[in-house]
Copies of this chain bind each other. A is one copy, B any other.
Amino acid sequence: MRRNLKYWGWGYEDKSLSDDETSNLLKSLTEFGISGSEKGKFPSLDNITLMKPRLKPPKSLETICTEDKYERVLHTFGQSQPDSIRTFLGDFINAPDLIAYPKNEADIINLFDWCGEVNAALIPYGAGSSVVGGVTSDVGENYNGTVTVDLSLMNKVMEVDNQSRAARIQGGARGPELEAGLKPMGFTLRHFPQSFEHSTLGGWIATRSGGHFATLYTHIDDLVENITMVTPVGKIQSLRVPGSGAGPSPDRLMLGSEGSLGIITEAWVRLQKKPTFKATAGFLFSNFLVAAKSVKAISQAGLYPANIRIVDNVELKINNASNGSSTLMIVSFENSDHPVDAWIARAEQCCLDNGGVIDVNWRNNPSANQESLVGAWREAFIRMPYNREKLTPRGIISDTFETAITWDKFETFYQNVKQITELAILQTTGNKGAVSCRFSHAYPDGPAPYFAFHANSEPNRMIEDWLAIKNAASDAIIANGGTITHHHAIGRDHSKWYRKQRPLLFEKVLNRSKEYLDPKGILNPGVIVT
């Protein structure tokens, strides 16, 4: 039995916040002046009106296409804040006409050919967890219909190379599926984005996903040995080698292409042995900027922790992980080869030297990651994606945005972006809301700050309110020298700022690549190449 996925929120229908979790979340938001009563419910399937499909698949594609209502509704949106609001408002005017489930590359080629013939837009779809409108079926007026291509049937681990610790995996494999396929051999990819359960290898590659590793192998880019991508004019398959200096890297054109140049059907990826040595420590700091200094010290020490995260007091409070004013740091090391004591001992010293106070001791403490604030925040982190379906119906905006910035600019950047976002919330909603920050990843030359915000609104003006805040925050990121995304991708929502950030001549080169690989312009219109 297939578990049904929610079209109104995160994950499976049978999984959401408990009543207790919901009331705790709402209670902590009230401390920031954010509250709202339920203004309605997400519409039931019966109450959603869809246009009649404008497309009819040819005989050859009939068996892999469906116009089932639930399928069309499920595939209309991803997991962005506006996606959630529009779902709540029943705005399914742009629902895809058909959903296709290809079983192999031949099916994908047939879909490309047919969509080209009938001028249908084609949206590649992994598991639908884009938070930036990457799979939202808004393709403009230039198409006779939209086909969303769900890769979930191309989800196998095809081959494992024990010697090189690598595997060939199909693009449609979700996190749990590929990990299950690797587990019998003692291997793991250990790429655990927050979306892990509901995102795919192909989606990670297409969006340059950021995973579990907070340093070193941060992006999926670093875990990819080669990529196979099917485009409307043929297949690109790069050579599988551990490293190469032969011209510009073909993989790097596909990484970040977000479905605009082709569909990633498989890739060889680098694996790890399941880690057997692990150590986690937690530290408290008087504030976020002080904690950041420890992150800088550790990132520049050549220690490469698997996790090095700081979480500010606002995020801790909203997630009921603390009532204090401290910033939490979680640092952890892991390895399948040797104990990591020397590593974490040095990282600990960096924290103590920079004003940190131990929250959780790592010494002889295998359950450190479940204790105190470290454990409380970890629990909350796993549940966070489920929050929004409880907040949207109450008119509470809850969104995140993330970036990266060099250390020299960081403090000013952080203060400006936070302040401008708070001001935008205040001007838009009359309340400064809650703006929190953590680091998702850290490099020797700078951190990847990850902001979250919550704000009061009303369902009927939430889209505009959200857009006003999003615009202000994104403008602030670009104006202060950051990237519009470190790992959430561009999608439709970040297009405007991506165009500001991207060198103009590179845009021209990408446009020409698109013209060549997708001559009829059917692939994910409005994303990356516009």
A166 at the interface (CB under 8 A from B): yes
* Residue of A165, A296, A335, A485 most packed against chain B (CB within 10 A): A165
A27 at the interface (CB under 8 A from B): no
Check B505 against A231 for contact (C-beta < 8 Å): yes
Query: Among residues 223 to 264 in chain A, which have CB atoms less than 8 Å away from a CB atom of chain B?
Result: 225, 231, 233-250, 252-258
Q: Nearest residue in B to A335 (C-beta to C-beta)?
A: B302
Check B407 against A163 for contact (C-beta < 8 Å): yes
Further pairs besides A218-B243, A242-B445, A245-B487: 8, Cβ < 8 Å: A163-B410, A164-B406, A235-B505, A241-B403, A245-B256, A301-B338, A303-B338, A505-B517
CA–CA, A487 and B247, complex, Å: 10
CA–CA, A364 and B243, complex, Å: 35
A367 at the interface (CB under 8 A from B): no
A404 at the interface (CB under 8 A from B): yes
Check B516 against A237 for contact (C-beta < 8 Å): no
A202 to chain B, nearest CB (A): 15
Check A483 against B241 for contact (C-beta < 8 Å): yes
A512 at the interface (CB under 8 A from B): yes
Given contacts A235-B505, A302-B337, A503-B238, contact A219 B247 (CB under 8 A): no
Instruction: Give chain B residues whose Cβ lies under 8 Å from the Cβ of A506.
Output: 236, 238, 250, 253
Q: Nearest residue in B to A270 (C-beta to C-beta)?
A: B445
Stretch at the interface among A60-68, A174-182, A207-215, A313-321: A207-215
State the 6 A-B residue pairs at the shortest beta-carbon distance, nearest first. A242-B446, A252-B252, A342-B342, A208-B245, A242-B443, A301-B337
A336 to chain B, nearest CB (A): 8
Q: How many residues of A contact B (CB 8 A)?
A: 97
Q: Nearest residue in B to A244 (C-beta to C-beta)?
A: B483
A509 at the interface (CB under 8 A from B): yes
Instruction: Give chain B residues whose Cβ lies under 8 Å from the Cβ of A231.
Output: 505
CA–CA, A241 and B441, complex, Å: 13
A38 at the interface (CB under 8 A from B): no
Q: Nearest residue in B to A273 (C-beta to C-beta)?
A: B300
A506 to chain B, nearest CB (A): 4
Give A494-517 as 1s and 0s: 1 = Cβ < 8 Å from B's Cβ atoms. Answer: 100010011111101110110111
Check B245 against A446 for contact (C-beta < 8 Å): no
Check B240 against A498 for contact (C-beta < 8 Å): no
Check B243 against A166 for contact (C-beta < 8 Å): no
Query: Among residues 443 to 483 in chain A, which have CB atoms less than 8 Å away from a CB atom of chain B?
Result: 443-448, 481-483
A161 at the interface (CB under 8 A from B): yes
Q: What is the count of identical protomers in the complex?
A: 2
* Residue of A236, A250, A503 most packed against chain B (CB within 10 A): A503
A434 at the interface (CB under 8 A from B): no
A157 at the interface (CB under 8 A from B): no
Check B408 against A245 for contact (C-beta < 8 Å): no
CA–CA, A320 and B225, complex, Å: 38
Instruction: Give chain B residues whose Cβ lies under 8 Å from the Cβ of A513.
Output: 509, 512-513
Check B488 against A408 for contact (C-beta < 8 Å): no
Check B509 against A517 for contact (C-beta < 8 Å): yes
Given contacts A163-B406, A163-B408, A247-B528, contact A242 B509 (CB under 8 A): no
Of B248, B257, B510, the contact of A510 (CB 8 Å cutoff): B248
Query: Among residues 62 to 120 in chain A, which have CB atoms less than 8 Å away from a CB atom of chain B?
Result: none
Check A505 against B233 for contact (C-beta < 8 Å): yes
Instruction: Give chain B residues whose Cβ lies under 8 Å from the Cβ of A351.
Output: none
Check A245 against B219 for contact (C-beta < 8 Å): yes
CA–CA, A149 and B257, complex, Å: 35
Check A498 against B241 for contact (C-beta < 8 Å): no
Q: Nearest residue in B to A239 (C-beta to C-beta)?
A: B501
Check A253 against B517 for contact (C-beta < 8 Å): no
A405 at the interface (CB under 8 A from B): yes
Instruction: Give chain B residues whose Cβ lies under 8 Å from the Cβ of A273.
Output: 300
Check A241 against B406 for contact (C-beta < 8 Å): yes
A210 to chain B, nearest CB (A): 7
CA–CA, A28 and B253, complex, Å: 47
A346 at the interface (CB under 8 A from B): yes
Instruction: Give chain B residues whose Cβ lies under 8 Å from the Cβ of A424.
Output: none
A29 at the interface (CB under 8 A from B): no
A490 at the interface (CB under 8 A from B): yes
A377 at the interface (CB under 8 A from B): no
CA–CA, A443 and B271, complex, Å: 12
* Residue of A161, A257, A484, A509 most packed against chain B (CB within 10 A): A509
CA–CA, A300 and B208, complex, Å: 24
